[in-house]
Structure 1
Amino acid sequence: MKYLLSLVCLVALSNSVFSNDALDEPVSKHGKLSVDGINLVNESGEKVQLKGMSLAWSIWWPQFYNEATVEGIKNYCHSNVVRAPLAIETNDGGYLTDPEGQMQLIVDVIEAAIKNDIYVIVDWHEEKADTHLEQAVDFFDKISKQYGSYPNIIYETFNEPTTQSWSDVLKPYHEAVIKAIRANDPDNLIIVGTPTWSQSVDQAAADPITDQKNIMYSLHFYAGTHKQWLRDTAQSALDAGIGIFVNEYGTVNADASAPVDLDESKLWWAWLDENNISYVNYDITDKDEGASALIPGTTAENVCKEEYLTESGRLAVEQNKK
């Protein structure tokens, strides 16, 4: 009996201990996420870190917006989060010209993430979202009404602002979209884009959103381009008291070109882990470029299987296990 009780205690303890492998840290373990100071925490108030993979623009890579891809991202890329970038307006179309078709792609990824017990970032993916505020409010109103009761959902209201003023343009934009989300979903995490392609987190830290809870600020980096200077900027934002979420990063250059910068990638991962910051690798495509995680010709059924990974993909997967 004493042995049995000890075994039960060990099993219970093992189930409560955090694993460094994101595959072992699903939604069913952590539940609804929230922000405590600068930290992302689970429903028990314990620090939690998400690690995973981002899809690419929905208009150009729809073949990966499905359950097979999400299953591969979870099981073979060892992820507890997937990011779904909704293309808004491109030369080839997007949500503004095909709202039903593009919305269905996002819904398919959300449904697959819920089924596979991982978190999903719903990303309004453009650089001039402030000119489409009405459409963004409507989109996030619909998504939050349909899925706001699920702990899996994370909202990303503006992918990469460029030169827009944080205080005069971006902050009011985010506040309007957040208001629409919170009317339906009072609690799930919201990530807001920051100036300079989501690098100038210090500007947001100087004038943060103060009347809402569970808000984090986007930080994007590409290791070959963004080095210690950006980590210093991000550290200053943390020191000022805002939470950061790296919802897009690459191991290569900012233009997605090779080579992989392994040394800088390691420095970034070490800093992120030290500060308990979540991170999502860009991207799940089979395009012949440095940032792609998949070799050309990879289908959804083979996403993240080892023999189909590029150098960048292999490194991201190995990091997701650590």
Structure 2
Amino acid sequence: MNHLRLIASFLLALALCACASSPSASQKADDGHTAQSDPVETDTRKPGTESASLSPLHADGTQLLDDQNQPVVLQGYGTFGINSKPEFVNENTFRFLKEEMGSQVIRLAMYTAESNGYCTSGSQDELETLIDKGVQAATATGQYVIIDWHILSDGNPAQYQGQAKDFFGTVSRKYTGNPAVIYELCNEPNGRDVTWPVVKSYAEAVIQEIRANDKNALILVGTPQWDQAETEAGKDLLKDAGNMMYTVHFYAATHKDQQRQDLSTAYEQKLPMFVSEFGITEASGNGALDEQSGRTWIDLLDQDKISRVAWAISDKDEASSIFKPGTDPDSPSLSDLTEWGQWLRKVYTGKDTDDDKDSQGTSGSSEETAELKSGDNELEVSLKQSNTWQSDGMTFTQFDLTLTNHSDQPVTGWSEALQFTKDVTINQSWNGEISASGSSVTVKAGQYHTTIQAGESVTDIGFIVKSDGVVEQK
């Protein structure tokens, strides 16, 4: 008799669950091109995670909305390249960001070319496993997760279009129906010939791969000039792409009134925008924090209800890392936050870290690094002009630097002086300490390339100069 009662109770429970899981008409969005389709049978969410509590997201006009058509403004944090900082793809770190730092979304930045890139020297199997670990860790902590195809030195996304199609085909099959997963197709397209039509053609091809598996997933598409040519996209929108938005990036110490005006112009063009990377340092990721410009940016994003993701979940010794060097990813604390991390916490949560961190103790972390010996040989220097454009009566020119150590000794603490035909000022720079005086530009070893090993070539250092006319190297 007891067995019969148990069986009857079990069957009744199954019936009730079946009824509860059937979607009602009111649960389906009815907003034209962004309407949500009926739920698919495949559910990639693991039991016990919090992804079930996350609403499917869709863009309508300029706004990101949930499944009840209510505006959503996500705020969160992006990893440094998972290729070089895999230890921070960590559920404990993500949970700290959620509970202490106001995070709602994690961006997984997977470099495609440099730093053991997915399309060059990296292990694709290991990187795909790391992406899956990141997706599971983010959803386990109740956060959305952006899978970021992080092009940078390979500025034209079409260069690895075939690999991108295969990758997004694979992950979109794997995560079909998971409302937490967002796909970002191309971080910061850049280069002389990388115009919006080039990026648009690439995006159309990759979106087709995703839509073959998932009709409703949110897709983010980058714009040229390091995600700062959103107004060009606004003049020629993607067609039949479904649920998608365009990405904008800024670093507040470099990008100020002009870039803010561009964002406002794109908003007036009814462009759905998502800031998938930002900081308040210089565009290089280093330099002093410009809190005033940063606050102006945040106010503008709040005004237009634009989501934002801060760079970077890292303990690298640079101004744009939110953690101090030596932070343990398994047990981060408020005492581990850099000045940038503390600023973000206050902006995201309204909490002043100085008032709270004493309660967590001062675990501290060592910032000592081993002293490296320098070689005696000079480096071979190659400078390439890769892009030039006009803006506000000024000429902007991008130069990419290659340094090759032909000696049999590592070279440390190097410095190179470059001469140009005109006086210049530095507009942006990356992966080195770069300064200008008159027509001379000095490039010094930054934290990222302090030592260049014997036989090694470094190709990801570069800068953009501003001048009153065409400038060339002497």
Matched residue of 1:169: which SS? helix
Residue-pair matches, total: 295
- Please say if residues 54 and 84 of structure 1, whose CA atoms lie closer than 8 Å, have aligned partners that are also in contact: yes
Question: TM-score with structure 2 length normalisation?
Answer: 0.61
Structure 1 counterpart of 2:233: 204
The residue identity in structure 2 corresponding to 1:119 is Y
1:33 aligns to 2:85 (yes or no): no
Structure 2 counterpart of 1:15: none
Structure 1 counterpart of 2:168: 140
CA deviation profile, 1:112-150 (whole Å, cap 9, x unmatched): 112111100000001332200010011111111011210
- Compare CA radii of gyration and give the structure with the larger one: 2
Structure 2 counterpart of 1:247: 276
**1:165, CA displacement in angstroms?**
3.6
The residue identity in structure 1 corresponding to 2:88 is F
More helix by share: 1
CA deviation profile, 1:55-93 (whole Å, cap 9, x unmatched): 011111111112222222212221010000112121x42
The residue identity in structure 2 corresponding to 1:286 is D
Structure 2 counterpart of 1:102: 127
**1:28, CA displacement in angstroms?**
5.3
Matched residue of 2:162: which SS? helix
**1:27, CA displacement in angstroms?**
5.8
Structure 2 residue corresponding to 1:93, chosen from 109, 113, 116: 116
1:114 aligns to 2:142 (yes or no): no
1:301 aligns to 2:301 (yes or no): no
Matched residue of 1:301: which SS? coil
Which whole-Å CA distance do the structure 2 matches of 1:111 and 1:104 have between them?
11
- Please say if residues 147 and 153 of structure 1, whose CA atoms lie closer than 8 Å, have aligned partners that are also in contact: yes
Which whole-Å CA distance do the structure 1 matches of 2:91 and 2:138 have between them?
8
**1:287, CA displacement in angstroms?**
1.1
Q: 1:43 to 1:30 in 2, by over 3 A?
A: farther
- Please say if residues 302 and 308 of structure 1, whose CA atoms lie closer than 8 Å, have aligned partners that are also in contact: no
Identity %: 35
Question: TM-score with structure 1 length normalisation?
Answer: 0.88
More strand by share: 2
Which whole-Å CA distance do the structure 1 matches of 2:257 and 2:331 have between them?
36
1:61 aligns to 2:85 (yes or no): yes
Structure 2 counterpart of 1:151: 179
Matched residue of 1:302: which SS? coil
Matched residue of 2:255: which SS? coil
Q: 1:67 to 1:30 in 2, by over 3 A?
A: closer
1:44 aligns to 2:68 (yes or no): yes
Q: How does 1:181-260 map to 2 (within 5 A)?
A: 181-260=210-289
Q: 1:167 to 1:89 in 2, by over 3 A?
A: closer
Structure 1 counterpart of 2:341: 313
Which whole-Å CA distance do the structure 1 matches of 2:269 and 2:197 have between them?
20
Which whole-Å CA distance do the structure 2 matches of 1:29 and 1:115 have between them?
11
- Please say if residues 66 and 105 of structure 1, whose CA atoms lie closer than 8 Å, have aligned partners that are also in contact: no
**1:30, CA displacement in angstroms?**
5.0
Which whole-Å CA distance do the structure 1 matches of 2:125 and 2:77 have between them?
25
Which whole-Å CA distance do the structure 1 matches of 2:232 and 2:134 have between them?
32
The residue identity in structure 1 corresponding to 2:62 is I
Which whole-Å CA distance do the structure 1 matches of 2:330 and 2:100 have between them?
11
**1:29, CA displacement in angstroms?**
5.3
Which whole-Å CA distance do the structure 1 matches of 2:75 and 2:309 have between them?
6
Structure possessing the higher relative contact order (Cα contacts under 8 Å, 6 or more residues apart)? 1
Structure 1 counterpart of 2:449: none
Q: 1:294 to 1:203 in 2, by over 3 A?
A: same
CA RMSD of aligned residues (A): 1.4
- Please say if residues 245 and 278 of structure 1, whose CA atoms lie closer than 8 Å, have aligned partners that are also in contact: yes
Q: How does 1:161-200 map to 2 (within 5 A)?
A: 161-163=189-191, 164-200=193-229
Structure 1 residue corresponding to 2:306, chosen from 245, 258, 277: 277
**1:258, CA displacement in angstroms?**
2.5
- Please say if residues 314 and 322 of structure 2, whose CA atoms lie closer than 8 Å, have aligned partners that are also in contact: yes
Matched residue of 1:54: which SS? strand
Structure 1 counterpart of 2:381: none
Q: How does 1:115-130 map to 2 (within 5 A)?
A: 115-127=140-152, 128=154, 129-130=157-158
- Please say if residues 54 and 142 of structure 2, whose CA atoms lie closer than 8 Å, have aligned partners that are also in contact: no
CA deviation profile, 1:14-44 (whole Å, cap 9, x unmatched): xxxxxxxxxxxx8655500000101000010
> Unpaired runs of 5+ in structure 2?
1-49, 351-474
